[in-house]
Each structure stands twice: as structure tokens, then as C-alpha cells.
């Protein structure tokens, strides 16, 4: 724009001085603020490089932007957007707006590690001035688009406070899933135009008779500027930006960041002008109105060049496009719910009323009138260019004075539009469970007019209509998932959700879509889709199954959820059923593409990161080994992680993860035994090291109060279940026996567990074990603690499952002999132990089913096996004689070996003479009736 005459705002300055003298009672602060605002507007208007102030997602800004671009036809467009996002803007034509341009970094270098991952998003909607500028620059030949704002790396460099701590991210929990599309990313917007002075905003809302800032902006800025000319729009936006800037509180960090951004942008623009030799009159600078009224020394094409832009950090940034939505933009930037949707509707109304043709990228999804719009654009551009004088735009007069003195325009009531709203909200309410009727529609219509009149408005705004609908329709409760306020937001504008096209996806996302193509599903469509996989009839679907299981591991819950089928070691899938929502979770899939070029690579990186992390335990590393085998089928990675598990196990000094280590080690050992010709070297070394490791920790764990009974039982389970393999690999069983002998627990549960271990080692017989339990029940002082002994025996089923019959006996004795005040409080502990024990309950139930009678009628005459009399031995057959008779025929045939062993041990003794073996089967001789009855049944004669 050409320079404006010196006396353009002279009259306005005089009026403001008179107002300041009349209202100010004290220092000249008010006069300085008012005159300073006019100076800011005058300075920006005089700048040779045209400044175009905008507000974020403002329909008035978008309309004015489209109109000004057609009039001026600039050759260079400077845009307030992160400069490293420029290569992505051409991909917008492959997307359906709204989408967000994202910069993402998983690994940080130069920033605190707790900040990772870093994410910066810049959302773009159709009803925004930045989209109009982007579409014009990309589709107009000879026009250059230059992004001049700080890079994504500088967003986090300047985000650090003076004390070295980072600004907290927005931690609001979003109810709607569309509101979480941006995640916890840092948002970058053009034109954050909102008062930073709380008292000022409260004053504006109270006197404007509105509830929130979005409603005030819609009523007092959007509507008046919707039909204004360029000069009025320019000066009013500069006025608002300067007002909010001068009344902003002096937060040193925020002020410094704002000023550094302005210095950065002007430095970049001057560098580009000097490098290309472009005339500033052929350029336009699109920025937020807050930054357009800047007072830094670097302002303007003739500003100071002393600002030094710091070098980026060593962090490696990835860039891409992610889907966005109106709700996500509102949630991230603190806007009122529904305001962006209402702005989109207002933009469409402004276009129909003013007949301005907006810019839209050629070939963009949803552009049904792309060719028609292109022809209109060319015709309008030719007309506007021919209308301009040779020297550029003419000087603009003072439009601020008239705008500030003009009373608000009262639009006439559009009864047709309001009636349509009232009928539609009642219909939507009925669909969502409300008992609404035609009478409610009439009430909403009349109440909207009443509320608008109370707020000095002739025409009800969408916010008046929303308040009326809530008042008339919503009763004491919300019957459905959405309330009336949410229904009005959807009805007035709808929460539009964008989509990134296939061509704009990263290589990983495109690879996933290609590999899942045999499913014949529209994977980019939002919502849940059911996929049925029959690998028997279609073997090629097995590869799809592998992809789906990896996506389930890597993506959030709900993106790929198995309905039927599971993935286990050593099993091959036959049929599976999946619920897929990849279109809904497109952002998560895109962010996977920032980590690698294939899901296999990303999964391997995740497994390595988990296994080699500082908090990794033996259990987590074994889990990574299992996942590598299960999902990647990679023996190489499994062996590498297995060796690392061996190293982690050797350094652990606690037994917290013993149950998980036992469970996963057993599973992996069983898999390798059934699927491999020989065990991997790492699993053999793991068993050998684990045997020695747990033998060393066993006495300490028995005495440590922090070690639970379940953990000690898992240690014993590892030692006993892996004992045969460990002994074959060179371990010494004496180490286990010494560890058990050195264990002296004080806890009753651990004491019972130690008894079970001694019984397994042969140091304690069943008779002695039964005697100890009877002694506990006979001691009145120990009876209250007896359930704790039983808990120890229950946990002993893990290392010593052979004691299942004894545990059934002990529990039966407890139910028979313990008093109710002792027994009843223990029952919840019993249930919890069996539930947490995994396989303990089936083992105990199976043994109880074998011992107890199967019919209720037999229960009265049933005698427990442990109460029965022991069978008398046959006359003339002693225990020693039985052994010498032939129980060990090999030992009797070769006594020299036994004699040498006895001599080596220092034992003296003589061999007993075995009794003559009875002729024929001994059992038939003792019980001849069975044989005689069988002979009679077969028709023979009993002998």
C-alpha cells in the first residue's frame, strides 16, 4: 500500500485527546494508550510492505483475505507459519480439510528428555485467511509463498522459562474423541486475538451481554466486518491488535517470545527481499493482528537487522499432515465449543451474500466446483488488475473514526432461518431421546427472540438460539450421550473432521493400506469396520493377520481390536475377526510413519527401546523376547534380547519380578522345546544363571518382609521346574539344598512354603508334614494364625504341584476344625489367592474332584482317605523282606555295586535273605472271589 497522508488520523487523535481529558482523572496514562493505539495503526498502514492482519479461523478475515488477494494480486505472500512446514503445504490438495500440519520428533537432542516426544501442529480450515493465502500462492503461476515464523525447533527453544523449566502443556481431558485428534501437541495459530487482561475481557463480556469471548467476537467484530471494505477491515483489525497489545500484562517470558517472533519474521522478510530483489509493493505480509501492531526495532523493511536467529538443535524432526477437526481446534486453543463450526457457517453465509469467490486448491477433496471456481478466479483477477492504477493501490482515508462513531447495525429478523433452526433442533433432540414436540419448537423460536431483545439485538445470534434451546428442551437429565448444547453445535455447523489423502500419507501408512488391501475395506473411512479372515480358504490373509496384530501392539486401543482369534507361541491362526477403525485413528498411524518406513522396523525399535531402557527388568526383557517371536518371527532379535535378559537377571538384587519371569521363561522354554531341534544357547544360559541366582537369593527372600509369599513361591517354582535342565547343564543340586537349609522364615505362610520345599527335596515326609499341621491345629495359640499357613500351602502348589492332595486334606481339616471367627475372615484371602494364582484353582479343583465323592448320596457314608485305617501287611512279609525279595531285582543281582558304595560312605551292614516268592499272582491269592465270579460269568466251573 502506498504511503498515507500525514493528516489521515489527525481528527481521530484530537477526539481521543478530548475523550482522555474528559474521562481521565490523574496521570496521562489513558491519553498515552489511546494515542499510542492510533500511532500503531498509522505506522502499520504507512509500511511499504503491505501488512494484512488476521484473526485465527475468522470468517471475516478469510473473506477480506480472498477479496484483497484478487484486488492486489501480489507476487510474494509472506505467511506467519513455521518456516520448516513449507514443503508440506502442497500436500493439502490431497486432503479434506480441516487438517493440521505437524512437526514431530520422537528422540530429542538439545532438549530435556522428559519433553519427548515433541509435537507441533498448525491446524488449517477452509474458513481461515491462511488457507486463502496458501491456495492463492500455490495455484497462481509466478507467486511465491514464504513462511517466515520461527521453526518448530525454535518453538521449543523459546518455550523454556527463565528458571529452566518448561511451560506445562495443556492437560485438559477431552471428552469427544474428535477433540483429541491433536493429542498433547503444541498448537501454532495465526492471530491469537484475545485480551490478555482479565479485567478487560470481563468488562467487555459484561457490557456486551454475552457469556464468553467467542460470542463477543462474533457479535461485535465478525458481523460488522463481514461487509466492510478493505480499508475499514485493515484499520479496525490493527486497532484491536494494538489495544490488546498495549493492555496486555507484562509477563516477561510471553512478551519476550512475542517480540522475538516479530523480530524473526521481519528479519526473514528483509533477507528474502534483499536476495530476490522483489519490490515490497508487490508483496503482502499475512500475520496476526497482535503482531501487526508491533513496536520492535526490527519492524518494517527499513528496520534494524541486529536480531540474531539461533541455530536449530540437533533434534531430528519429521513432518506430515494429520487429520484435525473443529472440536480439536477449539479444545487446543481454548475456544468455546462450537465456535469454529459457527464460524464456518458464517463464512459460507458471507460468501453467498457478497458473491466473493474464495480460493481453493485445485483437485482438493470436496471441491465439486473446482473448475468453475478457477474460471471465476481468473476473470475476477483480470478485472481487479485492470481496475488498479499503474502505481498500485490508492491512498486510503481514515475509516476508524466513522467505524467507531457508527451505531451498531440492527439486522432484521430472518424468521425463515430461525424457524428452520427451531424445527431442526427439536428433530435432533427427539432422535437423541428427548421428549420434544412442536410446542418446544415454538417455545425455542419465541425465547430466541426474547433473549436477543434482552441483549439489545434485533436478530437472534446462534448463541441466543443455543441458550433458548437449552432452556426450553433440556429437562432434569440428559437421556442420550449428547446434551442440547452439543446438539445445537452440531446442527449449526457440525464438527467437521478432516482426512489426509493416500498420496499425502507417509510411506509406512501407505504400506499398511497396501498390505491390508486384500480385506477389501475402506480403511480411510471413519468408524468401525468388521474384517473376517479365513486363512484356511485364503492363505494370503495370513499376512494381513500379521499386520493387524502388529498394529494392535503399536496403535491405541480401538484402532485394531480382535473379536475372535488370538496369537500364541507355536500356534498358527485359522480364522480371525477384527474391528478396525484406522480412519478414526489416522493421526496415530501417521505418527508411526515418523518412526520408520515399515511397521516391522517401528516394532523392532519399540522392543529394543523397552528392553534396553533404564527401567527394564528381566520380566520386561523376556516380554520383549516373546513379542519379537510372536509378532516379528525374528530369531535374530529374540536371541539378542535373550542375551540381554541374561545380563539384566545377573544384576537384579530383588525378587519383585519372579512370578512374571517364571511364567514367561516356562512359556518360552515350552515353545523352543516343541518348535526347535535344540534349545537356543541363551535360554540354556538363562536357566543355568537363574538357577544359581535364585538359589543365592532364596534365604534372603524367606527372611525379607518385603518379599511376598507369591514371589518366593515363584522362585521355588523356577528352581524346581527348571531343575532337570539346570542339572544337565552343570548346576549343582547341593546349592539348592543348602539354600533351603539356610532359610529360616518367621512368617507362617513362608514357613508352610518352606515345608513344602523340604517335602519336595525329600527332607520331610508326608507323615511328618501331616503331623506338623495336626500340631498347629492342636495348639490354641496357633489356631488364629493357621489360615496363614494354609495360604502358604496354596502358594506351594506353584513349585510343588504334587502336594495338591495334601493341600486338599489341609483345607478340609481347616473347614472341619477351625471356628467360624477364624475361618470366615480367611475366605476372601482364599478366593483372592486362587484367583491371582492362575493355574492353582484348576489344579486344586481337579484334585478335590478326585478325592471327594461324585454324588451327594455317597457323601454321608464317605470316609476321607486320610482318615482310613492303613491296610495290614500280609503275614510273613516284612518291609525289609519285600525289598530284598525283589522290589529291586537289579540291586539284588549285582550286590557288589551297593557294597562299594556302602564302603565309600563308611556304612556297615549285611544283606537280608529274601523270602521265597509266592507262586502266581499275589493279588488273586488274597482275593479269590473276584476270579471265581468272573469264571462263573464266563460259563466256566469254579475251582
* 923-938 residue pLDDT tens: 777 778 887 887 777 7
- Rounded Cα distance between 713 and 800, Å, is 9
What are phi and psi for residue 870, nearest 5 degrees?
-65, 140
Query: Do 506 and 91 meet the contact criterion of CB atoms below 8 Å apart?
Result: no
Q: What is the mean pLDDT of residues 175-202?
A: 61
State the pLDDT at residue 14: 57
Q: Give the cell for residue 674.
A: 516343541
The least confident of 211-220, 531-540, 604-613, 872-881 is 872-881
Of the pLDDT bands very low, low, confident and very high (cuts 50, 70, 90), residue 402 is low
Cβ count near 930 (within 10 Å): 10
- Weakest mean pLDDT among 226-235, 375-384, 792-801, 884-893: 375-384
- Across the chain, what does the average pLDDT equal? 79
Contact partners, residue 342, CB within 8 Å, separation at least 6: 214, 218, 462, 489, 492, 493
Q: What pTM, to 2 d.p., does this model score?
A: 0.69
Contact 110, 314 (CB under 8 A): yes
C-alpha cell at 303: 528496520
Residue 393 scores a pLDDT above 50: no
Overall average pLDDT of the 800-807 stretch: 86
Which of these, 147, 110, 102, 150, lies nearest to 258 by C-alpha position?
150
From 438, 427, 558, 584, select the one nearest 490 (Cα to Cα): 427
Average pLDDT value for residue range 544-568: 90
Residue 170's pLDDT is 38
Q: 8 or 596, which is more confident?
A: 596
Residue 527 pLDDT more than 80? Answer: yes
CA distance 934 to 936: 5
Task: Indicate the length of the chain as a whole number.
Answer: 943
Q: How far is CA 540 from the centre of its chain?
A: 31
- Span 715-737, average pLDDT: 90
Q: What is the pLDDT averaged over residues 635-654?
A: 90
Q: Within the chain, how many helices (H) and strands (E) appear? A: 41, 13
C-alpha–C-alpha distance, residues 39 and 27, integer Å: 20
Q: Is residue 885 very low, low, confident or very high in pLDDT (cuts 50, 70, 90)?
A: very low
Average pLDDT, integer, range 445-460? 84
840 and 833 Cβ atoms separated by less than 8 Å: yes
Q: What distance in Å separates the CA atoms of residue 95 and residue 126, rounded to the nearest whole number?
A: 12
**Whole-angstrom distance, CA of residue 644 vs CA of residue 639:** 9
Terminal alpha carbon distance of the chain: 132
Q: Which helix (H) or strand (E) holds 607?
A: helix 599-611
Spatial separation of the C-alpha atoms in residues 555 and 547, rounded to whole Å: 12
Residue (of 22, 232, 46, 56) closest to 127 by Cα position? 56
pLDDT number for residue 145: 92
Average pLDDT over residues 482-500: 78
pLDDT of 244 above 80? no
* Cα radius of gyration (the chain): 41
The yes-or-no verdict on residue 225 having pLDDT over 50 is yes
DSSP secondary structure letters along 569-584: TT----EEEEEE-TTT
Average pLDDT over residues 341-358: 84
- pLDDT of 384 > 60? The answer is no
Phi, psi of 468 (to 5 degrees): -65, -40
- Give the burial class of 781: count Cβ atoms within 10 A of its Cβ; 0-12 exposed, 13-18 middle, 19 or more buried: exposed
Residues 366, 352: Cα–Cα separation, whole Å: 18
pLDDT at site 870: 46
Mean pLDDT computed over 220-246: 80
The percentage of residues in the chain with a pLDDT greater than 70, rounded to a whole number, is: 81
> Is a pLDDT exceeding 80 seen at residue 149?
yes
Four-point Cα dihedral 647, 653, 658, 661, nearest 10:
-10
Q: Which of these, 572, 566, 574, 588, lies nearest to 512 by C-alpha position? A: 588
Q: How far apart are CA 321 and CA 587, in angstroms?
A: 8
Amino acid at each position: 500500500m502506498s504511503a498515507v497522508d500525514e493528516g489521515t488520523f489527525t481528527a481521530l487523535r484530537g477526539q481521543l485527546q478530548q475523550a482522555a481529558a474528559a474521562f481521565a482523572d490523574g496521570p496521562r496514562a489513558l491519553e498515552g494508550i489511546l494515542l499510542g493505539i492510533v500511532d500503531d495503526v498509522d505506522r502499520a498502514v504507512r509500511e511499504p510492505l503491505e501488512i494484512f492482519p488476521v484473526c485465527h479461523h475468522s470468517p471475516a478475515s478469510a473473506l477480506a483475505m480472498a477479496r484483497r488477494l484478487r484486488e492486489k494480486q501480489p507476487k510474494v505472500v509472506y505467511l506467519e507459519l513455521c518456516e520448516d512446514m513449507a514443503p508440506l503445504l502442497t500436500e493439502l490438495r490431497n486432503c479434506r480439510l480441516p487438517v493440521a500440519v505437524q512437526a514431530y520428533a520422537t528422540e530429542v537432542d538439545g532438549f530435556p528428555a522428559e519433553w519427548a516426544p515433541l509435537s507441533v501442529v498448525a491446524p488449517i480450515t477452509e474458513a481461515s485467511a491462511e488457507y486463502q493465502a496458501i491456495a492463492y500462492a500455490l495455484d497462481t503461476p509466478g507467486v511465491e509463498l514464504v513462511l517466515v515464523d520461527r521453526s518448530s525447533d525454535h518453538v521449543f527453544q523459546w518455550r523454556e522459562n527463565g528458571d529452566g523449566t518448561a511451560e506445562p502443556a495443556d492437560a485438559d481431558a477431552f471428552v469427544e474423541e474428535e477433540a483429541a485428534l491433536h493429542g498433547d501437541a503444541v498448537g501454532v495459530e495465526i492471530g491469537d486475538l484475545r485480551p490478555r487482561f482479565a479485567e478487560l475481557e470481563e468488562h467487555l463480556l459484561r457490557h456486551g451481554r454475552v457469556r464468553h469471548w467467542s460470542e463477543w467476537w462474533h457479535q461485535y467484530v465478525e458481523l460488522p466486518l463481514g461487509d466492510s471494505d478493505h480499508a475499514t477491515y485493515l484499520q479496525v483489525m490493527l486497532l484491536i491488535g494494538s489495544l490488546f497489545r498495549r493492555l496486555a500484562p507484562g509477563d516477561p517470558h510471553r512478551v519476550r517470545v512475542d517480540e522475538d517472533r516479530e523480530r524473526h519474521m521481519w528479519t526473514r522478510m528483509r533477507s528474502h527481499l534483499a536476495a530476490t530483489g522483489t519490490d515490497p509493493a508487490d508483496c503482502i505480509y499475512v500475520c496476526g493482528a497482535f503482531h501487526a501492531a508491533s513496536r520492535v526495532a526490527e519492524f518494517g523493511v527499513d528496520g534494524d537487522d541486529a536480531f540474531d536467529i539461533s541455530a536449530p538443535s540437533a533434534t531430528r524432526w519429521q513432518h506430515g499432515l494429520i487429520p484435525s477437526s473443529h472440536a480439536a481446534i477449539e479444545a487446543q486453543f481454548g475456544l468455546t465449543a462450537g465456535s469454529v463450526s459457527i464460524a464456518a457457517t458464517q463464512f459460507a453465509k458471507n460468501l453467498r451474500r457478497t458473491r466473493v469467490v474464495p480460493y481453493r486448491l485445485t483437485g482438493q477433496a470436496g471441491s465439486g466446483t473446482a473448475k468453475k471456481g478457477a474460471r471465476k478466479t481468473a476473470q475476477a483477477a483480470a478485472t481487479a488488475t485492470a481496475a488498479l492504477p499503474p502505481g498500485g493501490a490508492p491512498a486510503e482515508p481514515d475509516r476508524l473514526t466513522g467505524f467507531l462513531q457508527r451505531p451498531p447495525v440492527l439486522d432484521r429478523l430472518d424468521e425463515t432461518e430461525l424457524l428452520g433452526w427451531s424445527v431442526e433442533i427439536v428433530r435432533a433432540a427427539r432422535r437423541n431421546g428427548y421428549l420434544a414436540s412442536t410446542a418446544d419448537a415454538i417455545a425455542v423460536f419465541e425465547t430466541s427472540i426474547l433473549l436477543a431483545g434482552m441483549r439489545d439485538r434485533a436478530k437472534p445470534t446462534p448463541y441466543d438460539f443455543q441458550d433458548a434451546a437449552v432452556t426450553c428442551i433440556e429437562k432434569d437429565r440428559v437421556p442420550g450421550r449428547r446434551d442440547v448444547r452439543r446438539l445445537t453445535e452440531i446442527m449449526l455447523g457440525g464438527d467437521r473432521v478432516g482426512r489426509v489423502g493416500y498420496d499425502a500419507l507417509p510411506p509406512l501408512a501407505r504400506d499398511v493400506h497396501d498390505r491390508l488391501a486384500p480385506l477389501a475395506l475402506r480403511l480411510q473411512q471413519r468408524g468401525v469396520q468388521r474384517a473376517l479372515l479365513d486363512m484356511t480358504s485364503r492363505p494370503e490373509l495370513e499376512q494381513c493377520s500379521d499386520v493387524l496384530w502388529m498394529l494392535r501392539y503399536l496403535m491405541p486401543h480401538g484402532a485394531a481390536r480382535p473379536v475372535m482369534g488370538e496369537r500364541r507361541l507355536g500356534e498358527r491362526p485359522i480364522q480371525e475377526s477384527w474391528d478396525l477403525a484406522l480412519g478414526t485413528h489416522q493421526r496415530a498411524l501417521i505418527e508411526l510413519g515418523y518412526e520408520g518406513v515399515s511397521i516391522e522396523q517401528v516394532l523392532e525399535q519399540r522392543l529394543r527401546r523397552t528392553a534396553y531402557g533404564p527401567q527394564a527388568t528381566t520380566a520386561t526383557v523376556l516380554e520383549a523376547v516373546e513379542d519379537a517371536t510372536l509378532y516379528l518371527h525374528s530369531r535374530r532379535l529374540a536371541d539378542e534380547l535373550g542375551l540381554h535378559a541374561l545380563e539384566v537377571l545377573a544384576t537384579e538384587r530383588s525378587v519383585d519380578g519372579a512370578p512374571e519371569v517364571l511364567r514367561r521363561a516356562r512359556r518360552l522354554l515350552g515353545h523352543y522345546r516343541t518348535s526347535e531341534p535344540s534349545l537356543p544357547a541363551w535360554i540354556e544360559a538363562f536357566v543355568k544363571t537363574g538357577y544359581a541366582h535364585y538359589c543365592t537369593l532364596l534365604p534372603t527372600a524367606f527372611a525379607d518382609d518385603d518379599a511376598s509369599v507369591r514371589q518366593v513361591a515363584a522362585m521355588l517354582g523356577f528352581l524346581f521346574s527348571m531343575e532337570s535342565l539346570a542339572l544337565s547343564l552343570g548346576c549343582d543340586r547341593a546349592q539348592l539344598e543348602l539354600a533351603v537349609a539356610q532359610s529360616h522364615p518367621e512368617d507362617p505362610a513362608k514357613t508352610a512354603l518352606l515345608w513344602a520345599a523340604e517335602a519336595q527335596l525329600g527332607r520331610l515326609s508326608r507323615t511328618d508334614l501331616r503331623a506338623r499341621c495336626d500340631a498347629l491345629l492342636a495348639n490354641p495359640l496357633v489356631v488364629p494364625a493357621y489360615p496363614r499357613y494354609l495360604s502358604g500351602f496354596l502358594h506351594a502348589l506353584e513349585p510343588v504341584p504334587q502336594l495338591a492332595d495334601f493341600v486338599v486334606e489341609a483345607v478340609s481339616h481347616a473347614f472341619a476344625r477351625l471356628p467360624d471367627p477364624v475361618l470366615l475372615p480367611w475366605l476372601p484371602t482364599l478366593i483372592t489367592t486362587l484367583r491371582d494364582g492362575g493355574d492353582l484353582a484348576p489344579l486344586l479343583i481337579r484334585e478335590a474332584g478326585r478325592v471327594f465323592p461324585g454324588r451327594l448320596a455317597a457323601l454321608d457314608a464317605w470316609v476321607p482317605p486320610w482318615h482310613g485305617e492303613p491296610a495290614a501287611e500280609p503275614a510273613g512279609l516284612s518291609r525289609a523282606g519285600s525289598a530284598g525279595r525283589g522290589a529291586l531285582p537289579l540291586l539284588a543281582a549285582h550286590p557288589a555295586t551297593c557294597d562299594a558304595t556302602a564302603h565309600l560312605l563308611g556304612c556297615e551292614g549285611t544283606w537280608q535273605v529274601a523270602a521265597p516268592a509266592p507262586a502266581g499272582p499275589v493279588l488273586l491269592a488274597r482275593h479269590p472271589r473276584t476270579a471265581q465270579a468272573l469264571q462263573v460269568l464266563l460259563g466256566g466251573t469254579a475251582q
